[in-house]
Amino acid sequence: MEQTPVISARSLVKRYKDLTAVDGIHLNIMEGECFGFLGPNGAGKTTTMRMITCMSPVTEGELSVHGLSVQHSPREIKNMLGVVSQSDTLDPDLTVHQNLYAHSRYFNIPRSEAMHRIDEVLDFVHLSHKIKNTPDELSGGMRRRLLIARALLNKPKILVLDEPTTGLDPQSRHSVWDKLAVLKNEGITTLLTTHYMEEAAYLCDRLVVIDHGNILVQGTPSELVMEYVGNRVMEIHPPHNEKSTIVNSLRNNNVEFEDNGNSVSIYDTTDNFDAVNSITNGHSGNWRPANLEDLFLRLTGRALRDDS
Ligand code: ATP
């Protein structure tokens, strides 16, 4: 039997005056999966999340969550969601406990039930010992875990996380990943934006790469890497005066590559190992396994987006 998507977008558009931030995307996100949104700065990821979480109106197209339209049933949809936004929205004047209690009021959770859930979510993110502290007295990693705890208070069916680990050290990042993995095992559907390719590879069952408001590709991380990059990658840094000869030779031999200016990335898509080694003779680097970052750069290029 075919599964019904938990989130479905059809020709979804968001315009801010004459800027089209999301340009007619189609999405089907299934129950229990962790679905990632990757894309350069300004690609339209947060805008898409904000429409899904009913925080920003849809300009055109259809968008539904558990069969409910975001235009017609925002209240019901918000009750099903736990949202961790990019910005830290904790109240600095309240303690950890008070922050969580204030949030429980939005969902009209009865006081005794709220108290129980606060204990539960703080225990889950290992912050029970900080219950009387204010957010300013927590580290960045603790604040992120607190935001996740807060998002879980209403027992959401879907967790929406906008860059949940930006700025965290590796220990804190892994701690957040562990928590998200536990929640996934419990069957929660997770939507995630991230600039960390390792995070997406680790957590996401499927993902989309978005650029300029359009979905460039979607699929599982490993399928996408295999399809668009191949097995292995080698970066070479030939002297300037030899680069064009090497590039021409790669092109003539139908080897997939990317000219990065000072370096060339060569993709092993068809076991072209020997051909490449002879072309780059003397300037070969080491082959390494292809990864999501290779895919991302192949699809979205290397130009900085903040400058545009
Ligand atoms: P980042 O990785 O930097 O968070 P993003 O992919 O989440 O980027 P969005 O925040 O969705 O990108 O922005 C998409 C585009 O919409 C950008 O060009 C941005 O400047 C624009 N934009 C976002 N919010 C608004 C707004 N409230 N008013 C006008 N333009 C906006």
Residues in contact with ligand 1 by the CB-under-6-Å rule are 16, 19, 21, 39, 41-47
pLDDT above 70: percentage of residues in the chain: 95
Ligand 1 pocket mutation pick from 12, 37, 41, 46 by most atoms within 8 angstroms of CB: 46
Q: At what angle do helices 96-106 and 140-152 cross, to 10 degrees?
A: 30
Nearest CA to ligand 1 atom 16: 21
Report the chain's mean pLDDT, rounded to a whole number: 91
* Confidence at 270, pLDDT banded by 50, 70, 90: low
Instruction: Tell me what percent of the chain is helix, strand and coil, each rounded to the nearest 5.
Output: 40, 25, 35
- Note the pLDDT tens digit of each residue in 34-82: 999 999 999 999 999 999 999 999 999 999 999 999 999 999 999 999 9
Nearest CA to ligand 1 atom 26: 16
